[in-house]
Amino acid sequence: MTILVTGATGNVGRHVVDLLVRAGVDVRATSRNPESLDLPAEVDVRRADLTDPKTFEQALQGVEKIFLYAQPSGIEGVVEVAKAAGVKYAVLLSSMAAAGRDPDHWIARWHRAVEDSIEQSGLAWTFVRPGPFAVNSLQWAPSIRDHQPVRILYAHSYLSAIHELDIAEVSTCALLQDGHAGARYHITGGDSVTQAEQVALIGQAIGRELAFEDVTGDDARAELRERFGPRIQVLIQTGVLDPMATPEIIETRIRYYVEALEGPAEIDGTVEKVLGKPARTFAEWAVDHKADFTKRSVS
Ligand SMILES: NC(=O)c1ccc[n+]([C@@H]2O[C@H](COP(=O)([O-])OP(=O)(O)OC[C@H]3O[C@@H](n4cnc5c(N)ncnc54)[C@H](OP(=O)(O)O)[C@@H]3O)[C@@H](O)[C@H]2O)c1
């Protein structure tokens, strides 16, 4: 059986490749820049872009299952190419937002557009819907490496951030075992901690007490505009987002942080149900990523 992994350079996709190789599966991996991939020698690497479905025509020949990143622009073409090539099953890296209480939010619409296309395609599928990734905390790594205080938006808001390896393990189970077709797996990390506590746990992992600044209100709005601006522009240009929605995106995010101050964040048991072991905690993630907070990457 050959399984194709898109997003093989991604935090989750890279682990999916390794887990499948370890399971003895024939793995094909795609990237828009395959020369940047550093994968086990037995992996068959191809260049492909989800926004350009014909780039998957060759890559999908002989493939039975696919691990997909969510890219609404091109998804209908990608599922057509997949079906024509004989693919039977797709595991999609979606988002908890797809089932969220804010169905018009752009992140919900982005992922639901892809889920809808897959559901209507006739392929069998599993939708893996994680909450916030623990790896988002790497945004703090430059400040921590530079011994500067970490700027945290709403530092006392709670998250149950999920380790990328748990997402990859759940996805790999769905690819390799029977019984996951039609499942929408809402998955979270193993504990609820505030962002300030996350910084403290990173400090414990690297053996240094870390300072932070709590950024709220208009300062947080300004930082969000800077952070989301380029992605919002892409969404407006591709028609996914109405330009009038931009201020609402920022306000929705602020509301999310403010509500999360109440805590604790929800901890879901799905990872344990699927894997037979509890989801990893943030402290475990911090230990696994010690090097990211202590070493400078060579560019
Ligand atoms: N961060 C969160 O809190 C969160 C929460 C819920 C869900 N999610 C979902 O998880 C995704 C991020 O996962 P991650 O952290 O593993 O990703 P990542 O490390 O940011 O990497 C993104 C991957 O997507 C691939 N990709 C992007 N555009 C592509 C295209 N047009 N065609 C083919 N591949 C493309 C990239 O591949 P190449 O560059 O090699 O082509 C790369 O491997 C988000 O996009 C979202 O859908 C994230």
Report residue 182: phi and psi, to 5°: 80, 5
What's the CATH code, domain 1-130? Answer: 3.40.50.720
Q: Is the CB of 6 under 6 A from ligand 1?
A: yes
**CATH 3.40.50.720 region(s) of the chain?**
1-130, 131-162+189-265+280-299
Amino acid 225: pLDDT: 85
pLDDT tens for each residue of 6-20? 999 999 999 999 999
Q: Is the CB of 33 under 6 A from ligand 1?
A: yes
Q: Is the CB of 31 under 6 A from ligand 1?
A: yes
Q: Is the CB of 189 under 6 A from ligand 1?
A: no
Amino acid 28: pLDDT: 98
The tokens for 56 are 């998957």
Q: Are 166 and 275 in contact (CB under 8 A)?
A: yes
Closest residue by Cα to residue 77 from 112, 37, 121: 121
Q: What is the dihedral of CA 38, 43, 47, 49, to 10 degrees?
A: -90
Question: What CA–CA distance (Å, rounded) separates 212 from 150?
Answer: 4
Q: Which atom of ligand 1 is the closest one to the Cα of 74? A: 31
Amino acid 107: pLDDT: 84
Amino acid 297: pLDDT: 53
Closest residue by Cα to residue 130 from 14, 279, 283, 9: 279
**Structure pTM?**
0.95
The tokens for 121 are 């395609």
Amino acid 233: pLDDT: 76
Question: What CA–CA distance (Å, rounded) separates 282 from 163?
Answer: 7
Is domain 131-162+189-265+280-299 annotated with CATH 3.40.50.720? yes
Q: How far is the CA of 10 from the centre of ligand 1 (A)?
A: 6
- What residue owns the CA closest to ligand 1's atom 8? 95
- Please list, residue by residue across 116-154, b when 16 or more beta carbons sit within 10 angstroms of its beta carbon and e when fewer do: ebbeebebebbbbbbbbbbbebeebbebbeeeeebbbbb
- What residue owns the CA closest to ligand 1's atom 40? 31
**Which segments in the chain show pLDDT lower than 50?**
299
